């Protein structure tokens, strides 16, 4: 018996029970699509975070005061606060090339009819290009160190999506700070940055930058929110981190880009496993569906199996005929599921144009900085095509075997 004949007969059998076959295939499709979409999205997320980390560079450490939520002793224990003294201390460590202190505060930026949720960062503005690799000015210039009213803003503050009001140079903007210091501040826009995207926890495109001195005056504090520590080489990062941690103990929190990548990766890989197993469960349910459908089909066609035996079909051939019905369902389900999953993953990522206009993002947040591009590796595509076929074969094996082992005489009498 020829393989092509086996599949032709299987196709005719599936076509004969269209609705049932389609429902079975739909089950496989959904399982396969969910697996593909979830894995592609979470690896897209991981890749996105990695790209952000790369913008900071591998030779950068961030030092911030540790939040002591559960400080021992009295509840009034103050967090350690970073000052100029710490800048000098860390600068003296072996392998440190520069220490850049900064202030940061959540802020609402308003001008014209726009009100944008963002962040205020006070930093030596000349250091910005060192801190954020690839950042450059779209227009204007950086605020001078001693110009307390000058500011440079991120791209989506100047050009918010969905708003006709746009910022021009030397325009006034007002800032309402969140957190413990409240009140409205006014700045003159001296510079606008090109679109840059997110870096770790901040979205540069919705950040307003002022000089360190201005921030110190306006926020009325000499304590920094954090320090950027640049090491001479990427290889120094670990030793410098250890030096700082040894010196400060648990008073400060030190993060380096590399460890952030690995922690993000561990989170996303756990997520991938978790989401992938949801998909696997649905595929398992689909497999049970195939087995069930095939059992019904074998039972309904008992008489046909008897006829096939009488006509001289070998047990192996009969098994092959039923199994190839499962394989065909698996192939169609796998291909359909892969296509569906591909589309679905873009919907999850929100990168499809259709999901851009739903108004999900807050004003001022551009789509480009928050969307996630799913990642499809050849292995993933192959998996999502082949796994359903494997599942279908396993699910069809037992019913097909039962069919092949049927007693011909009993089968022929079956009504």
Partner 1 sequence: MPSHANLAVQTIDVTKVYRVGHISYSALRGVNLKIGKRELVSVVGPSGSGKSTLLNLIGALDPPTSGRVIIDGVDLRKLNEDRLALLRNQKIGFVYQTFNLIQRLTAVENVEMPLIAGGVPDKIRRSRSLKMLSAVGLADKANKRPTELSGGEQQRVAIARALVTRPALVLGDEPTGNVDSKTTIEILNYIVQVNRTLGTTFVLVTHNPDVANMTHRMITIKDGLIEKEQYIQRMDSYTGS
Which stretches of the chain bind partner 1, using CB under 8 A?
1-2, 5, 9, 12-13, 16, 303-304, 306-317, 407-409, 412
Q: Would you say 365 and 203 are in contact if contact means Cβ atoms under 8 Å apart?
A: yes
Which of 285/409 has CB closer to partner 1? 409
Q: Which of 348, 349, 357 is nearest to 373 (CA)?
A: 349
Helix, strand, coil tally for the chain in percent (to 5): 55, 20, 25
Q: Which of 65, 61, 94, 99 is nearest to 79 (CA)?
A: 65
Which of 165/300 has CB closer to partner 1? 300
Neighbours of 410 (CB within 10 A): 10
Minimum CB separation of residue 344 from partner 1 in Å reads: 35
Which of 18/220 has CB closer to partner 1? 18
Which of 205/304 has CB closer to partner 1? 304
Which of 106/405 has CB closer to partner 1? 405
Minimum CB separation of residue 316 from partner 1 in Å reads: 7
d(Cα 313, Cα 336) in Å, to the nearest integer? 33
Minimum CB separation of residue 411 from partner 1 in Å reads: 9
Q: Which residues have a Cβ under 8 Å from the Cβ of 82 and sit 6 or more positions away?
A: 63, 64, 65, 101, 223, 224, 225, 226, 227, 252
d(Cα 202, Cα 187) in Å, to the nearest integer? 21
Q: Which residues have a Cβ under 8 Å from the Cβ of 216 and sit 6 or more positions away?
A: 103, 122, 222
Q: What are phi and psi of 164, to 5 degrees?
A: -85, -20
Which of 16/165 has CB closer to partner 1? 16
Minimum CB separation of residue 8 from partner 1 in Å reads: 9
Q: Would you say 10 and 321 are in contact if contact means Cβ atoms under 8 Å apart?
A: yes
Minimum CB separation of residue 314 from partner 1 in Å reads: 4
Minimum CB separation of residue 329 from partner 1 in Å reads: 17
Which of 21/41 has CB closer to partner 1? 21
Minimum CB separation of residue 305 from partner 1 in Å reads: 11
User: What does each C-alpha distance from 51 to 35, 201, 209, 325 come to in angstroms?
Assistant: 24, 13, 22, 45
- Is the CA virtual torsion 381, 385, 387, 388 positive or negative? positive
Minimum CB separation of residue 390 from partner 1 in Å reads: 27
Which of 255/408 has CB closer to partner 1? 408
350-371 b/e (C-beta count within 10 Å ≥ 16 → b): bbeeeeeeeeebebbbbbebbb
């Amino acid at each position: 018996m020829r393989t092509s004949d086996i599949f032709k007969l299987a196709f005719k059998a599936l076509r004969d029970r269209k609705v049932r076959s389609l429902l079975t295939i739909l089950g496989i499709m959904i399982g396969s699509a969910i697996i593909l979409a979830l894995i592609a999205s979470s690896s897209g997320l991981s890749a996105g975070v990695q790209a952000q980390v790369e913008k900071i560079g591998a030779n950068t450490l961030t030092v911030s005061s540790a939040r002591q939520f559960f400080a021992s002793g009295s509840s009034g224990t103050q967090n350690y606060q970073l000052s100029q003294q710490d800048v000098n201390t860390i600068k003296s460590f072996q392998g440190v090339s520069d220490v850049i202190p900064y202030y940061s505060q959540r802020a609402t930026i308003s001008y014209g009819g726009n009100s944008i949720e963002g962040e205020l960062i006070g930093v030596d503005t000349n250091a910005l290009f060192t801190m954020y690799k690839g950042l450059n000015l779209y227009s204007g210039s950086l605020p001078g160190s001693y110009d307390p009213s000058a500011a440079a803003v991120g791209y989506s503050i100047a050009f918010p999506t969905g708003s006709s009001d746009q910022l021009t140079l030397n325009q006034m903007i007002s800032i309402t700070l969140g957190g413990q210091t409240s009140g409205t501040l006014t700045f003159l826009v001296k510079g606008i940055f090109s679109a840059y995207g997110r870096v770790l926890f901040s979205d540069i495109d919705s950040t307003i930058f002022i000089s360190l001195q201005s921030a110190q005056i306006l926020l009325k504090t000499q304590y920094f929110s954090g320090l950027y520590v640049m090491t001479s080489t990427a290889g120094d990062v670990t030793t410098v981190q250890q030096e700082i941690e040894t010196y400060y103990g648990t008073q400060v929190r030190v993060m380096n880009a590399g460890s952030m990548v690995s922690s993000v990766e561990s989170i996303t890989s756990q997520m991938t496993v978790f989401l992938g197993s949801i998909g696997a469960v649905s595929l398992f349910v689909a497999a049970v569906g195939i087995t069930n459908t095939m059992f019904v089909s074998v039972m309904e066609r008992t008489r046909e199996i008897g006829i096939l035996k009488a006509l001289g079909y070998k047990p192996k051939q009969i098994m092959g005929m039923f199994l190839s019905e499962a394989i065909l369902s698996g192939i169609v389900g796998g291909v359909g599921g892969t296509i569906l999953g591909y589309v679905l993953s873009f919907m999850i990522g929100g990168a499809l144009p259709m999901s851009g206009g739903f108004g999900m993002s807050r004003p001022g947040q551009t789509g480009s900085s928050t969307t996630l591009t799913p990642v499809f590796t050849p292995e993933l595509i192959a998996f999502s095509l082949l796994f359903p076929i494997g599942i279908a074969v396993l699910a069809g094996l037992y019913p097909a075997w039962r069919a092949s082992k049927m007693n011909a005489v009993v089968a022929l009498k079956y009504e």
